[in-house]
Amino acid sequence: MQPSSWDIFCAVIDNYGDIGVSWRLARQLAHDHDQRVRLWVDDLQSFAHIAPGLDAGRARQRYQSVEVCHWPASEWPMDTQPADVVIEAFGCPLPDSYLAAMAARSRRPVWFNLEYLSAEDWVEDCHDMASPHPQLPLVKHFFFPGFTRRTGGLLCERTLLEERVAWQADAAVQVAFWQGCGVPPQRQAGELRISVFSYETTAFDSWLPLLAAADRPVRLLVPRGKALSEVARVFGQPLPEPGTFWTRGNLTVHTLPLTDQAGYDRLLWSCDLNLVRGEDSFVRAQWAARPFLWHIYPQEEDAHLVKLEAFLTRYERELPQEAAHALTAAMQAWNNGVSMEGAWPALLSALPVLADHARHWPQTVLAHGDLAARLVQSARIRLQ
């Protein structure tokens, strides 16, 4: 079958999740499915933080098999022909003139709104729902990522899990990785390595002193950003430069730069526990097959806590009760910004059981295919 053309539109609202997901999807459509992909992004500067090879000053460029285009705030380029498949990421409104051009095509594009990820049950009912445009002869379909067969699935590159298994079995590549981060490759006896990419939370106030006073050596790997600001706040220190480190008792905190997404994956694959957030790093922590704590993106009226519970209900279904309790308590404490004193020791004891569960989880959720494969399949059916 001929490759189709795709236009993905991404408006960067805050943080890196919108562009992180859109970029990952764009690359996967191009690499794994041989599709012709244009990615329209309104903020190339933010994008460049997680794609260091991108030239944020260039309005159009070919980057990793994707045509990356700046999405101008005004003056939509009128000569742009809409693609066969159009994706608005997270409900970002498309330019009126682009919509008109979509409607004017003899074969109307297939149009998806890629939604935010949730493990809640209602997602199955809303996935794939059609929404006709009120004026134009166009129909938009809602595409909901999710954890079940009746949702859109999760983004995972075709060969990712094999690459991860090979990486985790290869001591030499891990030594080189740690050296590249400025972190000693050899662990002290009993040492735990934890990556920390979370939002601000007062849970840091109790957690860091606990780690400093513990018997077991802990190294935190903290990319520059909100979590690092929290560590600096608790330590009463100015924000450090990437590559520097602090030591407090048995705790060492290493500051890392932001890397590209592949580099961040390798950090997740190399740690014993990962603190992740939002949407994309949360999914990547699952593919890392290591235990993780999820700092969910806070929403009004605590809607995020319902989402957290829905995920935990699914994730903990096959877990022994004690480990499930420990994981729930730690995630709740972290997300509610309360003391980690009760939850942390129980989580530490549960780590071996959680690690075993984390190894099997990816196969469970990917059993019905990944998100890009389901999206391509859905587009193909509609393009016929």
Residues near ligand TRH (CB under 6 A), total: 23
Catalytic residue chosen out of the listed positions 7, 18, 280, 370: 18
Least distance from C-beta 378 to ligand TRH, angstroms? 22
Q: Rounded to the nearest 10 degrees, how much is the dihedral formed by the CA atoms of 152, 108, 68, 282?
A: -10
Q: What angle do CA 3, 107, 97 make, to 5 degrees?
A: 100
Whether 198 and 231 have beta carbons less than 8 Å apart is answered as no
Distance CA 109, CA 100 (A): 11
**Which residue type is seen at 368?**
H
Residue number with CB closer to ligand TRH (17 or 291): 17
Whether 81 and 101 have beta carbons less than 8 Å apart is answered as yes
Q: Which of 3, 5, 15, 31 binds ligand TRH (CB under 6 A)?
A: 15
Residue number with CB closer to ligand TRH (183 or 258): 258
Verify binding: residue 303, ligand TRH, rule CB under 6 A.
no
Verify binding: residue 140, ligand TRH, rule CB under 6 A.
no
Q: Which of 6, 9, 10, 16 binds ligand TRH (CB under 6 A)?
A: 16
Q: Which of 297, 329, 332, 337 binds ligand TRH (CB under 6 A)?
A: 297
Distance CA 175, CA 352 (A): 23
Catalytic residue chosen out of the listed positions 88, 265, 279, 280: 279
Q: Which of 7, 88, 230, 279 binds ligand TRH (CB under 6 A)?
A: 279
Whether 306 and 120 have beta carbons less than 8 Å apart is answered as yes
Residue number with CB closer to ligand TRH (35 or 281): 281
Question: Residue 274 pairs with which residues in a beta bridge?
Answer: 195, 292
Verify binding: residue 63, ligand TRH, rule CB under 6 A.
no
Q: Which of 35, 274, 281, 286 binds ligand TRH (CB under 6 A)?
A: 281
Find the binding residues for ligand TRH in span 148-207 (CB under 6 A).
Answer: 197
Least distance from C-beta 380 to ligand TRH, angstroms? 27
Verify binding: residue 145, ligand TRH, rule CB under 6 A.
no
| 241 is an active site residue | no
Q: Which of 277, 307, 357, 374 binds ligand TRH (CB under 6 A)?
A: 277
Instruction: Look at the block and give the residue holding tokens 């954890």.
Output: 147
Residue 60 is classified by DSSP as E
Whether 211 and 184 have beta carbons less than 8 Å apart is answered as no
Q: Per 3-state DSSP, what percentage of the chain is helix, strand, and coil (rounded to 5)?
A: 45, 20, 40
Site string for ligand TRH, 72-111 (x = CB under 6 A): ----------------------------------------
Residue number with CB closer to ligand TRH (4 or 164): 164
Residue number with CB closer to ligand TRH (153 or 278): 278
Distance of CA 87 to the CA centre of its chain: 18
Q: Which of 7, 18, 115, 370 binds ligand TRH (CB under 6 A)?
A: 18
Among residues 283, 357, 295, the alpha carbon closest in space to that of 332 is found at 295
Distance of CA 306 to the CA centre of its chain: 19
Copy the structure tokens of residue 214: 């513990």
Backbone Cα Rg of the chain: 22
Distance CA 270, CA 187 (A): 12
Residue 76, classed as helix, strand or coil, is: coil
Least distance from C-beta 118 to ligand TRH, angstroms? 10
Verify binding: residue 17, ligand TRH, rule CB under 6 A.
yes
Phi, psi dihedral angles at 308 (to 5 degrees): -60, -45
Q: Which of 61, 64, 174, 261 binds ligand TRH (CB under 6 A)?
A: 261
| 18 is an active site residue | yes
Verify binding: residue 14, ligand TRH, rule CB under 6 A.
yes
Residue ranges binding ligand TRH (CB under 6 A) = 13-18, 20, 50, 116, 197, 223, 258-261, 264, 277-282, 297
- Which residues are annotated as catalytic? 18, 279
